[in-house]
Amino acid sequence: MPRALTIAGSDSGGGAGIQADLKTFQMLGVFGMSALTAVTAQNTMGVQGIHDLPPDFVRQQIDSVASDIGIDAAKTGMLSQPEIIEAVVAAMKEHHIEKLVVDPVMVAKGGARLLVPAAERVLREQLLPIAYVVTPNIPEAEALLLRRIETVDDMRDAAKRICDMGAQRVIIKGGHLPGGSSIDILYDGTNVDELHADRIDTKNTHGTGCTFSSALTAWLARGVEFTMAVGRAKQFITAAIAGGISLGHGHGPTNHWALMEQQDTVTKQIWGHMDGELHEVNGNQ
Ligand SMILES: Nc1ncnc2c1ncn2[C@@H]1O[C@H](COP(=O)(O)OP(=O)(O)O)[C@@H](O)[C@H]1O
Ligand SMILES: Cc1ncc(COP(=O)(O)OP(=O)(O)O)c(N)n1
């Protein structure tokens, strides 16, 4: 069975962070493992508290699963402190993790900082250069580049500039840009591509970035080629947003179960792909 590791914070509200990642891994037929970086007291209204874990203990969690179970792909989410980033970078290098999806989480929807400002430089200089792909949203790309991004052309330019910082591939997520379409820009170091989806009019978007990056990690863990993996992750997040759940009083979570509920073309396509691959895996055993 494909194995994926999420290195991220806990969201007590269940919509983002480790919880979103593990639900996504499960939905996509991947064995999910976790290394917790921080525990947040959080709900649909925002983040009420943050408790960081010691960097050595983050490292120990990664070492435990890497040395025994093995990791086909990993992702990072909330990393909180510069020392935690350093511990993660050292572990990724030691365990030779090639498929590393870096979601450079900085600020939660309600405005709480999930990465201290002093850590941004460490993320840029140490984590980006070992990323197989980095997936900033527009505010995160702006923070990495220290420049404004207001148009799709700006996004294309930003993707190339972030690639120049050392990441092998870049996806700039367009959820924060106004317009009828939610456009993501993909840059693989050579070609720029666009992924389009109709913008869904909903306030239930808590955890969109985590869900997208974990779906991408799951497909990479399954050995799917990069561009196809991104396309499938986009299908997954679009369905999850369309099926978003009105829980709580703020931004409700996306619905990881939506693909099963909808039984539409997207569902059939994704479960169809997965079914084929599962047969292949079983056949090879
Ligand atoms: N309202 C929406 N309708 C459709 N897709 C969306 C919407 N909001 C975000 N997305 C998509 O969800 C994914 C996550 O993007 P984004 O919300 O920008 O990330 P983050 O949660 O990190 O801010 C992207 O693929 C983006 O295009
Ligand atoms: C513990 C934790 N990790 C990450 C986030 C950010 O998640 P994201 O998917 O970017 O969604 P929003 O917070 O922007 O809704 C988080 N909130 N908590």
Q: Which atom of ligand 2 is least distant from the CA of 110?
A: 13
Annotated active-site residue in 37, 44, 205, 211? 205
Taking the centre of ligand 2 as the mean of its atom positions, its distance from the CA of residue 233, in whole angstroms, is 17
Q: pLDDT value at position 284?
A: 35
Give the nearest ligand 2 atom to 251 CA: 15
Whether the predicted pLDDT of 11 surpasses 60: yes
CB 85 within 8 A of CB 126: yes
What's the pLDDT score for residue 264? 56
239-264 burial by CB neighbour count: b if 16+ within 10 A, else e? bbbbbbbebeebbbbbbbebbeeeee
Domains detected in the chain: 3-284 (3.40.1190.20)
pLDDT at 268 over 70: no
Confidence of residue 266 (pLDDT cuts 50, 70, 90): low
Check the CA dihedral 67-69-71-75 and report its sign: negative
Q: Are 69 and 30 in contact (CB under 8 A)?
A: no
Q: Measured in Å, how far apart are the chain's first and last C-alpha atoms?
A: 10
Mean pLDDT of the chain: 92
Separation in Å, CA 216 to CA 20, 34, 80, 146, 242: 13, 16, 22, 26, 18
Residue 241: CB within 6 Å of ligand 1? yes
Burial class of 228 by CB neighbour count within 10 A (0 to 12, 13 to 18, 19+): exposed
